[in-house]
Amino acid sequence: MSSNLPVRIGGSPPASTDPLARAADYATAEKSDATRRAYGSDFNHFSTWCFSAGRTPLPGSPETVAAYLAHLADSGLKASTITRRCAAITYAHRLKGCPPPTLAEPVKAVLRGIRRRIGTAVERKAPATARAIRDMLRRIPADTLAGKRDRALLLIGFSAALRRSELVALNVADIETVPEGIVIHIRRGKTDQEGQGAEIAVPKGSRLKPVEALTVWLEAVGNLPGMAGTDPAMPLFPSIAKGGRPGGRLSDRAVALIVKRWAKAAKLDPALFAGHSLRAGFVTSALEEGADPFKVMDITRHRRVDTLKIYDRRAKAFKNHAGKGFL
């Protein structure tokens, strides 16, 4: 039996006093904004394909979904993208109270076949390790507003192992100064959709000095925490408008572009780096230095030690290598 709840997957829900519309708003609130946008775009693509093929998207049949997945595979999409679009179809059907056709065995068989034929290897970006960050910092001007922002952004993203979405969501008010350094208050993260929040300690440091870089940046824009005239709601890392004044909040895509820009300036291949490189770089650098994996997890908020093994293998790839004695 289908539900009478209006289906609205992507975007921010408009304000409404209608009980059914409000129920739909709460139902979609279980997913993050980014997930809703992705699912909304994916389901729109599925719907457009269905209409062009004379098929019904909701409720869709297993045959329709299987044909759609085959179309995606033949179009050259990655297995990960096809899997996500399959998840969007599942989500839309569940919101409507309809049995998801994606759970039918014929559809599962098609998806397994696609993964087997295309492959499921994840394209991982290079970690911006402490060494890479130092090389980037040497190229960033310390006397311009944009340069001060970029230095602070790279160092805070790296030292707190932040996801790029968390980095751009920070406000000045989320920074707490303590004698040992700063505490960053994460209001909501990828694995914290209910908004319990987290606190990440960042020491002053004696080499990269992330806290010093952040202080220099905030002093430059006159927005140091506790300073007279400070706007606590100001984004910690805003865009820089023409004329050199802080603008609106950076997008997570902008973080990736900043990392790529300074990687290129440091003679590194920008194609290998992205926003996630900062987080991956902290983990890799910490494990290279022999840090306790559980201490690393305190910073990264990973829930499984197994996740760190991906970074640990890279960090120790050449340590006691099996061919060290004869290659």
225: β partners: none
**Catalytic, out of 85, 93, 260, 302:** 302
Question: Is 276 a known active-site residue?
Answer: yes
Question: Is 93 a known active-site residue?
Answer: no
Torsion angle, alpha carbons of 60, 63, 66, 68, to 10: -60
Which tokens in the block code for residue 277? 């490189």
Question: Is 68 a known active-site residue?
Answer: no
Selection from 166, 157, 168, 149 nearest residue 133 by Cα: 157
User: How much helix, strand and coil, in percent to the nearest 5, is found in the chain?
Assistant: 55, 10, 40
Which tokens in the block code for residue 253? 């895509």
Torsion angle, alpha carbons of 221, 222, 223, 227, to 10: 170
Sheet architecture: strand order including 198-203: 175-178, 181-186, 198-203
Q: Which residues contact 141 (CB under 8 A, 6 or more apart)?
A: 147
Selection from 95, 120, 111, 106 nearest residue 13 by Cα: 95
**Catalytic, out of 39, 68, 91, 311:** 311
Q: Which residues contact 266 (CB under 8 A, 6 or more apart)?
A: 132, 135, 136, 138, 139
Rounded to a whole number of angstroms, the CA Rg of the chain reads 23
Question: Is 188 a known active-site residue?
Answer: no
Instruction: Give yes or no for a contact between 53 and 67, defined as CB atoms under 8 angstroms apart.
Output: yes
Instruction: Give yes or no for a contact between 255 and 164, defined as CB atoms under 8 angstroms apart.
Output: yes
Torsion angle, alpha carbons of 196, 297, 170, 249, to 10: -120
**Catalytic, out of 93, 151, 163, 314:** 163
**Catalytic, out of 190, 253, 309, 313:** 190
Question: Is 71 a known active-site residue?
Answer: no
By annotation, the residues acting in catalysis are 163, 190, 276, 279, 302, 311
